[in-house]
Structure 1
Amino acid sequence: MRIRSPSMSELHAFVTAARLGSFTRAADTLCVTQGAISRAIARLEAHFGQPLVYRNAHRLTLTEAGRSYLEGIAEPLAALETASAAMFGEDRRHHLTLSAVPTLASVWLVPRLPDFHRKHPDIRLDFVPYRRDEDFSGAKPDAALLTGEASTWPNWQADYVIGREMVPICHPARAHARQSANLWKTPADLMGEPLLFHTTAPRNWQHWLQAAGVPDAAPMLARGFDQVSILLEAVKADMGIAVLQRCLVRDALQAGQVVAPFDLPVTLNRGYFLCAPREKRDHPALRIFREWLLELAKSDIAALVRT
């Protein structure tokens, strides 16, 4: 039988460049030169006798044939890579690499990991650097805890974990002064304060106010921060009010470092999800970790509602 499929190096070069939209980024991911990526894709195009990519100075795009070919080979190629990696040792079945949003990892996940290790001492869990634009290409984690909405990752297995439960927080002195002057009667009154926000989710204030009974809310935002931990510190410094995930500020609320001026049961669509490529769904260590994580989150969410 005549073999019509090209070499694996050409396939990896094409799929990686197509996903990243760049020969340079593909070369960095696969640890080769940009020229090697370009030559591999040129050989692939010569093999099929038609162009697969449009080359320009800004971003690589696919031809119609390129898009069709990518759809046909991307998942089988990823499955082949997973199976090949597993052949290097049965230990992979008990080894899980994970990336996570740093604040969620440090504030919520890591303090709970001793429970996981007690229940599953045979599983090795390693963390790799978090990438906000994680696409599971190249040297990748098995799974990632990312923030967004369920529709953000239509091609992955994405399980909601926690983080939809939101609450506004402020410095205790600010709350005492406003409430003593009878200035905070309804959630709409918060729009007169400096509203602090996370730069990746600037609409959280509008969504929270609408859910809290202010349908036409058009809040004027004050200062943005790109990390929840810094945003929380800004609230503690009385720079303004923020609306944040309840799971991330529960300790600060219980310690009295911040207070919730309107403690309402508001949930938004955005939250933290455990995401993984579909070909990883049968990874034994990931399956065990997912079950533990979702059960833990379920218990924590119930506790948040009670408090």
Structure 2
Amino acid sequence: MPSRDPLPPLSCLRAFEAAARHGSFTQAGGELSLTQSAISRQIKRLEDDLGRPLFERHYDGLRLTPAGEHYFRVVQRLLRELRDETARLRRRGDDRQLTLASSPTIASIWLARQLPDFQRAHPDIEIRILTVEDPHRLDLAEFDLGIYYHVHNEVDPPGVSADAIFSRESVAAVCSPAYLERHGAIQSPAELLTRHTMMVVEDHYHDWLTWELWFRELGQEWQPPIHTLRANSFQLLMNATLAGQGVTLGWMRLLAAELEQGTLVQALPQVLSSRGHLSLFTPEHRHLTEPMRAFRDWVLR
């Protein structure tokens, strides 16, 4: 009679690692594009195979058992090493490909405008863009370099170093000319709060740049605005701003082309120095390929 395979299925290990990391079968399912019940079945199969429970089910969520804690550390380390080595082998198979990670807004508004210059200088390098809104959700094995706003000790994803692309950056209220034509010129910050539609991004990653902070750091009185358009995507709000639906906070150098072309205008003269810098993220302890070196040299110039 054949002996039992000593290794559990990879699908069970991935489900266990995600559930242990999130402390939730539902969130693990969301990450792996599976239902909560599918994750639960994978965990049950793994627990049956091991002959011991890995989780304790409590009214307020999941907790790892002592055996589960130890197994989680082992599984997480091995899956990370497997992902890293797989990515390295794939890159060796196509060592002229460069994968750039960025937020959808930065990728569409800024990076896409800059890349033609790089590609003219390096026509043999194939570019692949990976869009992930929150840099904390980046998998270090899936990209070569990243471009995000970096705030030291606040937007500080683990495992990467950050080099500022813009050493100085400012933030101002911006809108489309069409919006001003319909609603009239904005005379003061206080008028924004009562007469205009303010774009509000509901995203933990962008909590370091909010309308309330902008008002307070400029010494302006703050109160919740009467009219808002809210979304959890800065890209969606920026597209709505370009379409004339309201006023948003924007980084002036990131939006330089839109301001120069006149598709956006500065709605008020007040400007605040940005706490964040558009930065190049480089995974630490990664061997820099020739395409990575070429892009780093180009973008940091």
Provide the TM-score with structure 2 as the length reference. Answer: 0.67
- More helix, by proportion: 1
| CA apart distance, 1:109 | 0.2
**Is the partner of 1:251 in helix, strand or coil?**
helix
Q: Which residue of 1 aligns with 2:211?
A: 205
The verdict on how the C-alpha distance between 1:19 and 1:125 changes in structure 2, with shifts beyond 3 A counting, is farther
Deviation at 1:295, TM superposition (A): 0.8
Letter in 2 for 1:110: A
Q: Which residue of 1 aligns with 2:108?
A: 106
Say which structure is richer in strand: 2
Residue equivalent to 2:265: 259
Question: Partner residue of 2:3?
Answer: none
Aligned runs of 1:83-102 on 2, under 5 Å? Answer: 83-87=85-89, 90-102=92-104
Q: Which runs of 5+ in 2 are unaligned?
A: 1-5
Q: Distance in 2 between matches of 1:169 and 1:176?
A: 14
For 2:65 and 2:281, locate their aligned partners in 1 and report how far apart those are by CA, in whole Å: 29
SS of alignment partner, residue 265 of structure 2: coil
2:161 is aligned with 1:155:
no
Partner Cα separation in structure 1 for residue 195 and residue 277 of structure 2? 25
Equivalence map 1:116-195=2 (5 Å): 116-128=118-130, 130=132, 135-136=137-138, 140-142=142-144, 144-145=146-147, 149-150=151-152, 151-157=154-160, 159=162, 165-172=170-177, 173=180, 178=185, 183-184=187-188, 187-188=189-190, 190-195=192-197
Q: CA deviation at 1:68?
A: 4.9
Distance 1:18 1:137, change over 3 A: farther
Residue by residue over 1:190-221, the C-alpha shift from the partner in whole angstroms, topping out at 9 and shown as x without a partner, is: 4444141232347621122222232x533415
Corresponding residue to 2:293 among 283, 288, 291: 288
Preserved contact between residue 84 and residue 141 of structure 2 (Cα < 8 Å): no
Q: Distance in 2 between matches of 1:153 and 1:45?
A: 37
* Unmatched tracts of structure 1, length 5 or more: 297-307
SS at 2:253's partner residue? helix
The match for 1:15 is 17
After superposition, the CA RMSD in angstroms is: 4.4
Measured against aligned partners, the alpha-carbon deviations of 1:85-143 in whole angstroms (never above 9, x if no partner) come to: 43457234433334432222121101211222234444322134546587346994455
Q: Cα–Cα, structure 1 residues 270 and 58, in superposed 2: closer, same or farther, change >3 Å?
A: farther
1:27–1:37 Cα contact (<8 Å) kept? no
- The aligned residue for residue 66 of structure 1 is 68
Structure 2 SS opposite 1:74: helix
Q: What SS is found at the alignment partner of 1:252? A: helix
Q: TM-score, normalised by structure 1?
A: 0.66
1:8, distance to aligned residue in structure 2 (A): 7.8
In the alignment, the residues of structure 1 paired with residue 144 and residue 170 of structure 2 have an alpha-carbon distance, to the nearest angstrom, of: 27
